[in-house]
Amino acid sequence: MLLQELMEQQKQWLKLSFFCPLELAEAASDVLAVKSGNGVEQSPEQDSACVLAGFFAVHDADEVRLVAADVGAALAALFALYERPAPELERRMLQDEDWATSWQRYFKPFAVVPGLIVRPSWESYAAGPGERVLEMDPGMAFGTGQHASTRGALTLMRQALGALPPEVEQRALDVGTGTGILAMAAALWGMPAVLALDNDPEAVQVAAENVARNGLAAQIRVALTPPAALSGSFALVTANIVHDVLAAMLADLTRLTAQGGFLILAGILAGGQEANIVRLYGDCGFHLVEAKYEDEWAALLLRRG
């Protein structure tokens, strides 16, 4: 059947899938989530790669081509940062059949880490003693806390928040905030002022909406401001990105972390990448407090001074 004939039927969904190196899986998933506003599918990992798929509502053949070109360009730019060739996107059309809502029954409230619950907007949840609840929908992909690096960063954050130096102004910085989950967790756990940054305008919009939805706008400011443009220092800095970006941001993240303050780095593969980051930041005056591991991912808690 011709594509145009397909599009003349009821609303269609375009599935774009591609092979992705594991080290780029979280960042690439964020691209798909922000561009689509829907969930991201990840196949089982094999040979240091996985298959990612995003789902996009489309209305005609022209829109199919535009969406594929837009997503392809965003992914090509991401892959180029790591000197990797642009991924080849496979297109597949899906019949609607209420697909956009049928998956909702599979997404229930869950504890991303002990004491922090993420619930979708269509589910209620009665918080238990000591529990805090964030309302986020699975269209946010890994940013809802379903990825190992996010869980590792959150676990280390709670530890750091209990040991912040009292003489340093109590404010936090989240670089590459994505959906804002780390910034919101910091605010829920008592940080009075949080600055959440991202270089993607669409991600900034998503994060700002999540912050407002959870009643945290008085504590969290979301901005496009690059870290290089910031002044001052923060008691807690978090960056859940990827190895090469964390290495490139060494000078800025060092400058922005207060003496005695904590830096949490995630999105790093355990082993070689982890060792390199520990070495680079160690040369700038940080020491490793703790590392958390899940699957092939490492999250690092560093302290300056």
Span of 95-104, 107-116, 273-282 with lowest mean pLDDT: 95-104
28 and 167 within one domain: no
Q: So what's the pLDDT on residue 111?
A: 86
Q: How many CA atoms lie within 13 A of 8 on its CB side?
A: 5
pLDDT of 25 strictly over 90: no
Q: What is the pLDDT of residue 185?
A: 96
Q: Are residues 90 and 125 in the same domain?
A: no
pLDDT-derived band at 188, boundaries 50, 70, 90: very high
- Which of 41, 69, 102 is the C-terminal boundary of a domain? 102
In this structure, the answer to whether residues 82 and 132 fall within a common structural domain is no
Last residue of a domain, one of 102, 122, 152: 102
Question: What is the number of structural domains in the chain?
Answer: 2
Q: Per the confidence metrics, is the pTM higher than 0.85? A: no
- Per-residue model confidence (pLDDT) at position 175: 97
Known binding-site positions: 150, 176, 198, 240
* Mean of the per-residue pLDDT values of the chain: 87
pLDDT of residue 96: 58
Most confident of 11-20, 46-55, 118-127, 253-262: 253-262
Residues 6+ apart with CB under 8 A from 42: 25, 29, 50, 51, 52, 53
Domain check: are 185 and 240 in the same one?
yes
Residue positions forming the annotated binding site for S-adenosyl-L-methionine: 150, 176, 198, 240
- Looking at the structure, do residues 120 and 198 belong to the same domain, yes or no? yes
pLDDT of 274 over the 90 cut: yes
**pLDDT tens digit string along 123-177?**
888 888 989 999 987 554 445 566 788 899 999 999 999 999 888 899 999 999 9
- Mean pLDDT, residues 285-305 taken together: 94
Are residues 54 and 170 part of one domain? no
Same-domain pairing of 148 and 281:
yes
Percent of the chain residues topping a pLDDT of 70:
89
pLDDT at position 286, please?
98
CATH of the domain at 138: 3.40.50.150
Q: Are 34 and 160 in the same domain?
A: no
Write out the E strands in the chain: 12-21, 40-42, 49-58, 90-95, 110-113, 116-119, 132-135, 171-175, 193-197, 220-223, 234-240, 257-269, 286-294, 297-304
- 295 and 266 within one domain: yes
Task: Specify the 3-state DSSP secondary structure of 117.
Answer: strand
pLDDT digits (tens, 9 = 90+) for 49-84: 889 998 888 878 888 899 999 999 999 999 998 889
Domain of 61, CATH number, reads: 3.30.70.260
- Residue where a domain terminates, one of 102, 134, 149: 102
| 189, 110 Cβ separation under 8 angstroms | no
- Do 127 and 274 lie in one domain? The reply is yes
Domain containing residue 120: 110-304
User: For 197-243, how does the pLDDT look when each residue is reduced to its tens digit (9 = 90+)?
Assistant: 998 888 898 889 999 999 999 999 999 999 999 999 999 999 998 89
Same domain, residue pair 86 and 210: no
